[in-house]
């Protein structure tokens, strides 16, 4: 018999953790709905044909196996490729543009390490079927508003456009691998600084003059206009798109967005605007990101379909919220009141249920084990229940209950006819 | 390239379906919380050692494979065995009794047929660590209240006790396979009737005198007292337990429960009370069921731990609710208002976002594609949006908007300063 713990890189979520996750997901969903996104779900298992060839070198991390019908299948690696398959399969029944959110687990056979898991939830929104810059802005605004709804305020939204990076590369004759390498190294600016980047470029055999010119531009923290001036007409689409995106973001009340030419984003399939949200003053990396990927859906539809999307990194976000003290208000149980009793005689239990039915506007746990009153109080505290209503022979006779606040450890006697009001006052 | 459809027996959920599921799950969860249950989640993939030997002949339906580290693993087949593993692994950090709900998908490589899928959600509540009859009653009451919350009213909760069935079998010297067979055939009473059952018993080689006596008892629709009289002291625990369960159900306001000696329930691991909820006048089978299983957790803890639980069959429940017209009120989109516009000039879009920000208490989709107004209206209707707010040059100049009710197809002009109230009235 193997250990009782979950497999490496997988997790059990106990009630205190799961409640936090439920609260987070509910808030995020409510914001996505507010921006006009609707939910979908797709199966965990996809045909291998659907998954293969979409993730580059990461393909080897897919959980791949043969099912009982000897079909080659795999567990979904992200929610984007399944979305593309979904869109192609169901396009006749979907509005266009199609705006969806999706919150489901994905599986990656990665080497587990701090904050990296083999099963984790992705929380995605995407708009399929629109090239309009407003759809780019809506993705950023919806994710930004979700973070604000969760209580975050001190963050920066870095925005760039892949065409700018391509245009810079092409200006210096960098194509193919070298073009990819240029962007990949630039993306490390945050981590290694200008000197670190210079070193990486030179190591990879970039011409020193080219490197100097590129780093000179980066050092300026150039505006959109400045980059457009630098690359010329090859950056026209990026220039127009980003201008619209920032204008719409302003109308949508998003004040945290800044243009940042050093942002590249890892994924190969991005073609246009890319963004990333980083929490200021927290060394935790980005908590959300995304961009436009106008080439991916076509793999399934066989005709071009533009798309833009973004994703919130739930695990990292929870770590950040924990550090910022934003999870303190979330209780470790949904139960608001435990009803405890001195013995389980039929008369006592009649009274217990009378009390319970008076409190039907609350989450009430009637103790269902066999411990004595002391054990019932320790049940309440191990579960994290704030209030315990205590019933004994005296209380039954007097028509009262004891109400114990497990936080202050104070206990008062409350007549039955005042009990509902007692909690209504404390619950509002 | 394989087809674009999901694999056989798996499903894509489009927004109208997924919204129904979300609404259902939220209501069910709120009722479970009200009864003192808290949520957990466990990983989709479990070690093969955890899954094997728990499901009898059904074990061959588990999706089983070797992971990248060459470990034998499988996708979870239900939520009960993972719960048992979870409890054993985390018992030091759990209150006892431990009351949890869990709503997650499971996978079974079954032959797909109408209403049977290879991936489907289970929706379970269980109480671990209590032999108290109140914990049996709470499971039944929580599931019953969830059905009531969903609008169901005409149903019957059939309740029985495995000890009664065991005692009847033993009275006639039926042991082992014959004991199991007796209960298994009895369970078919609903489907094949008394004569059908007689035939099945005789086919299996049961003694005709024994069969007549058993069927005589069944034909009476005997009360708990009558069965106790029939089996004698071997049914003492069942008699006491069921008496308490029905008394508690009464206090919990559950009026739909009836004792039914013919109920057996399929799963091998039940040891005590078993129950099943069937919708009256619908030929759809049971929508929920469960029972006490005091032997399963021990497999992982290595010491006895009593447990009782139940499960709602979401897919069947949705089919029933559909037939009963209980899903009609659930909209096919969360979006309440679409804002449509004649053109996307900067001035127009400024106005569009002024309108949007006035309606921030609603789920508002600002059209983000490139269609003309006519196309935008057809987007609204394909998405299922009830209200379209229309903005054109005239409206901008006059400080009004057009509001079109997509149901009645009526359109009115509303001044901007009355717009929020217009929707507040229609939304309450």
Least confident segment among A293-307, A329-343, A395-409, B187-201? B187-201
CA dist A353 and B366 (Å) reads 50
CA dist B259 and B262 (Å) reads 9
pLDDT at residue A87 in the model: 98
Q: Average pLDDT in the A395-403 region?
A: 97
CA B336 to chain centre: 28
CA distances to B14, B367, B409 from B376, rounded to whole Å, are 21, 7, 15
When CB atoms are compared, the residue of B3, B50, B362 closest to A2 is: B50
CA dist A31 and A370 (Å) reads 44
Q: Is residue A276 within 8 Å of residue A286, measured between CB atoms?
A: yes
How many CA atoms lie less than 13 Å away from B13 in the CB half-sphere?
Answer: 25
**Is residue A126 predicted with pLDDT exceeding 70?**
yes
First CA to last CA distance, chain A: 50
Q: Could you tell me if B57 lies within 8 Å of chain A, comparing CB atoms?
A: no
pLDDT at residue B291 in the model: 97
- Closest-CA residue of B relative to A139 is B368
Q: Could you tell me if B63 lies within 8 Å of chain A, comparing CB atoms?
A: yes
Q: Is residue A369 within 8 Å of residue A379, measured between CB atoms?
A: yes
**Can you spell out the DSSP letters for B305-333?**
--EEEEEE-HHHHHHHHHHTTTTTTS-S-
Mutation to test the B interface, candidates A5, A23, A28, A38, most B Cβ within 10 Å: A38
CA angle (B327, B427, B355) in 5-degree steps: 125
When CB atoms are compared, the residue of B1, B93, B363 closest to A33 is: B363
What count of CB pairs under 8 Å joins A to B? 264
Which residues partner with A146 through β-bridges? none
Task: Please give the structure tokens belonging to residue B149.
Answer: 């919350």
pLDDT at residue A267 in the model: 64
Q: pLDDT tens track of chain B, all 428 residues?
A: 457 999 999 999 999 999 999 999 999 999 999 999 999 999 999 999 999 988 888 899 999 999 888 899 999 999 999 999 999 999 999 999 999 999 999 999 988 888 889 999 999 999 999 999 999 999 999 999 999 999 999 999 999 999 999 999 999 999 888 888 898 899 888 889 999 999 999 999 999 999 999 999 999 999 999 999 999 999 999 999 999 999 999 999 999 999 999 998 876 789 999 999 999 988 888 999 999 999 999 999 999 999 999 999 999 999 999 999 999 999 999 999 999 999 999 999 999 999 999 999 999 999 999 999 999 999 999 999 999 999 999 999 999 999 999 999 999 999 999 999 999 998 76
When CB atoms are compared, the residue of B5, B18, B251 closest to A41 is: B18
Residues of B in contact with A6 (CB under 8 A): 42-43, 46, 89
Burial level of B85, CB count in 10 A (0-12/13-18/19+)? Answer: buried
Q: In what order do the strands lie in the sheet with B72-75?
A: B45-47, B72-75, B64-66
Q: Nearest 5°: phi and psi at A23? A: -65, -45
Give residue-wise pLDDT tens across range A55-82: 888 899 999 999 888 899 999 999 999 9
Give residue-wise pLDDT tens across range A150-177: 999 999 999 999 999 999 999 999 988 8
Burial level of A368, CB count in 10 A (0-12/13-18/19+)? Answer: buried
Q: Average pLDDT in the A182-197 region?
A: 90
Q: Is residue A363 within 8 Å of residue A335, measured between CB atoms?
A: yes
Q: Average pLDDT in the A297-309 region?
A: 97
Give residue-wise pLDDT tens across range B119-136: 999 999 999 999 999 999
When CB atoms are compared, the residue of B86, B364, B368 closest to A12 is: B86
Q: Pick from B87, B83, B101, B93: which is nearest to B29 by CA?
A: B101
Say what the alpha-carbon torsion angle B259, B243, B94, B107 is, to the nearest 10 degrees: -10
CA distances to A187, A201, A202, A219 from A212, rounded to whole Å, are 17, 10, 10, 10
Test B21 with A13 for CB contact under 8 angstroms.
no
Give residue-wise pLDDT tens across range A8-30: 999 999 999 999 999 999 999 99
When CB atoms are compared, the residue of A33, A96, A365 closest to B369 is: A96
**Is residue A427 predicted with pLDDT exceeding 80?**
no
The model's pTM is: 0.95
Give residue-wise pLDDT tens across range A218-242: 999 999 999 999 999 999 999 999 9
pLDDT at residue B1 in the model: 46
Closest-CA distance of chain B to residue A320, Å: 22
Confidence of residue A322 (pLDDT cuts 50, 70, 90): very high
CA dist A162 and A238 (Å) reads 8
pLDDT at residue B374 in the model: 96
Question: To the nearest 5 percent, what fractions of chain A are helix, strand and coil?
Answer: 45, 20, 35
Report yes or no for ipTM above 0.85: yes
Test B7 with A47 for CB contact under 8 angstroms.
yes
Test B333 with A248 for CB contact under 8 angstroms.
no
**Is residue A389 predicted with pLDDT exceeding 80?**
yes
Mutation to test the A interface, candidates B75, B368, B380, most A Cβ within 10 Å: B368
Q: Could you tell me if B236 lies within 8 Å of chain A, comparing CB atoms?
A: no
Q: Could you tell me if A271 lies within 8 Å of chain B, comparing CB atoms?
A: no
Q: Pick from B289, B278, B240, B286: which is nearest to B256 by CA?
A: B278
Q: Pick from A293, A237, A285, A291: which is nearest to A264 by CA?
A: A291
pLDDT at residue B428 in the model: 62
Contacts of residue B411, Cβ cutoff 8 Å, sequence gap at least 6: B390, B402, B403, B404, B405
Q: Could you tell me if B27 lies within 8 Å of chain A, comparing CB atoms?
A: no
Residues of B in contact with A68 (CB under 8 A): 61, 63, 109
Q: Across chain A, what does the average pLDDT equal? A: 95
**Is residue A144 predicted with pLDDT exceeding 50?**
yes
Confidence of residue A1 (pLDDT cuts 50, 70, 90): very low
CA dist A39 and A32 (Å) reads 9
Closest-CA distance of chain A to residue B134, Å: 6
Q: Nearest 5°: phi and psi at B28? A: -60, -45
Residues of A in contact with B13 (CB under 8 A): 39-42
pLDDT at residue A428 in the model: 62
pLDDT at residue B267 in the model: 64
Q: Could you tell me if B71 lies within 8 Å of chain A, comparing CB atoms?
A: yes
């Amino acid at each position: 018999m193997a250990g009782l713990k979950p497999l490496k890189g997988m997790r059990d979520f106990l009630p205190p953790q799961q409640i936090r996750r439920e609260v987070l997901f509910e808030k995020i969903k409510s914001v996505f709905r507010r921006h006009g996104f609707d939910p979908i779900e797709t199966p965990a298992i996809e045909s291998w044909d659907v998954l293969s060839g979409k993730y580059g070198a990461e393909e080897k991390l897919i959980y791949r196996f043969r099912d009982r019908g000897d079909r080659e299948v795999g567990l979904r690696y992200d929610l984007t490729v399944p979305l593309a398959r979904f869109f192609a399969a169901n396009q006749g029944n979907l509005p266009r543009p199609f705006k969806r959110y999706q919150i489901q687990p994905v599986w990656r056979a990665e080497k587990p390490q701090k904050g990296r898991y083999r099963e984790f939830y992705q929380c995605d929104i995407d708009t399929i079927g629109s090239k309009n810059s407003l759809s780019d802005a809506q993705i950023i605004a919806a994710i930004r508003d979700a973070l604000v709804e969760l209580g975050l305020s001190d963050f920066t939204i870095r925005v760039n456009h892949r065409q700018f990076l391509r245009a810079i590369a092409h200006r210096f004759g960098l194509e193919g691998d070298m073009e990819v390498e240029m962007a990949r190294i630039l993306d490390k600016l945050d981590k290694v600084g200008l000197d670190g980047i210079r070193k990486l470029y030179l190591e990879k055999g970039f011409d020193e003059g080219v490197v100097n010119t590129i780093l000179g531009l980066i050092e300026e923290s150039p505006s959109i206009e400045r980059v457009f001036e630098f690359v010329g007409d090859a950056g026209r689409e990026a220039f127009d798109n980003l201008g619209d995106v920032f204008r719409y973001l302003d109308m949508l009340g998003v004040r945290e967005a800044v243009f940042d030419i050093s942002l590249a984003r890892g994924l190969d399939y991005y073609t246009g605007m890319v963004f990333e949200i980083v929490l200021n003053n927290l060394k935790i990396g980005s908590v959300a990101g995304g961009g436009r990927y106008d080439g991916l859906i076509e793999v399934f539809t066989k005709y071009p379909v533009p798309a833009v999307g973004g994703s919130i990194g739930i695990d990292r976000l929870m770590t950040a919220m924990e550090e910022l003290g934003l999870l303190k208000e979330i209780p470790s149980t949904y139960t608001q009141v435990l009803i405890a009793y001195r013995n389980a005689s039929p008369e006592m239990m009649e009274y217990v249920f009378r009390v319970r039915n008076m409190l039907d506007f609350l989450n009430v746990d009637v103790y269902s084990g066999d411990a004595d009153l002391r054990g019932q109080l320790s049940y309440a505290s191990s579960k994290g229940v704030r209030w315990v209503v205590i019933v004994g022979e005296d209380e039954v006779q007097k028509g009262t209950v004891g109400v114990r606040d497990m936080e202050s450890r104070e206990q008062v006697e409350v007549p039955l006819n005042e009990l509902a009001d007692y909690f209504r006052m404390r619950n509002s």
